[in-house]
Structure 1
């Protein structure tokens, strides 16, 4: 009897250790800000599913080039539950990145998401830095139209337009709130940013 109770306690402990977020109990939860609209889930209230319309699930215009006014030469258009309410509770976010020549997205990390970066125009040097028993390792490659790279969750990653014209890439993140921590522009792995980027080309 004692061994049976030990086995049951161990089984319960293991089942709790491997638990994950529960599956949704409804098809979707369109995020709205008005508490009169329903249940509060993932930072938004859910619209009555019977009132769902197509525009809750569609965003247009991501094919259009974005103006670049940032001194680092890039513009990121982020798509999340705030501008596409049908994404609420689906665990996804999306981004379009426009680069001018030599434009870059500074090294950063997403603490709650892995990311896929897919190049649709130009040539982009992209990569990430990881740490293991042998020290820091850099995984980096020049990606051309049709290429993609995966950035594992929490890894510091970057993207730089190394081509002779504008570049465009799309990112897909597996969290509706991936977070973003930008690494300081002055020092990366003990060197300045330009030296670091030159070392991985």
Structure 2
């Protein structure tokens, strides 16, 4: 009798697990998704139609030019060439994307996070200081100096950065587990929002003088 009960409990648990797995919400592929009753105003969640499988060709799954260095002559000294479904249509629904990042000496990829993806980061050339900060309340700063061939992981949703501490240009490849990972650069989002966030609020939040906040908002 006990064996029969145990077997039934096992079957019930397996059925429940299967139900929960099938009922789990899919990961969002855009920042917002406001519900509407009129289908005329609706959009697909991933924003893409699917091509007839019988009409797909090799070019749908091909991207060329990732070997070409990007222009790093900007205020952060780096450039990110992100390859998402918009550049590589064959990525659609596959849950992945990739980026090439170029850094000039002292160039940086400023503190940012991806709301929809974890990241595997591989150094191809150069020497980079990388790191991320864990969530509240610990705020542990985990960092490492990476050289050519080193790989580092940035967990989903955590603030992270890269900084070229070498004397030559650096190149890295970032692989992300979303076709639309999104990116929120902290300084740009906070001080460059449109419309601007109230400077008195930001001054208190960041423990800064209001004039400093206004200066930063003007910069971004």
Same fold (TM over 0.5): yes
1:89 corresponds to: 93
Secondary structure in 2 aligned to 1:155?
A: coil
1:136 corresponds to: 139
Structure 2: distance between partners of 1:146 and 1:117: 10
1:44 to 37, 41, 48: 48
1:69 matched to 2:73? The reply is yes
In the TM superposition, 1:1-201 aligns within 5 A as 14-19=17-22, 20=24, 42-131=46-135, 135-184=138-187
Structure 2: distance between partners of 1:11 and 1:156: 37
Structure 2: distance between partners of 1:81 and 1:172: 13
Secondary structure in 2 aligned to 1:113?
A: coil
Secondary structure in 1 aligned to 2:80?
A: strand
Per-residue CA deviation, residues 19-73 of structure 1 (Å, 9 max, x unaligned), is 4578xxxxxxxxxxxxxxxxx6732111111111111111111111111232110
Give the number of equivalent residue pairs.
168
Structure 1: distance between partners of 2:163 and 2:207: 17
Structure 2: distance between partners of 1:177 and 1:56: 17
Secondary structure in 2 aligned to 1:45?
A: coil
Structure 2: distance between partners of 1:87 and 1:181: 22
Stretches of structure 1 lacking an aligned partner (at least 5 in a row): 23-39, 193-201
* TM-score normalised by structure 1 residue count: 0.74
RMSD: 2.9
Per-residue CA deviation, residues 64-100 of structure 1 (Å, 9 max, x unaligned), is 1111232110010010110110000000011000000
1:191 Cα deviation from its structure 2 partner: 9.4
1:165 Cα deviation from its structure 2 partner: 0.7
* TM-score normalised by structure 2 residue count: 0.68
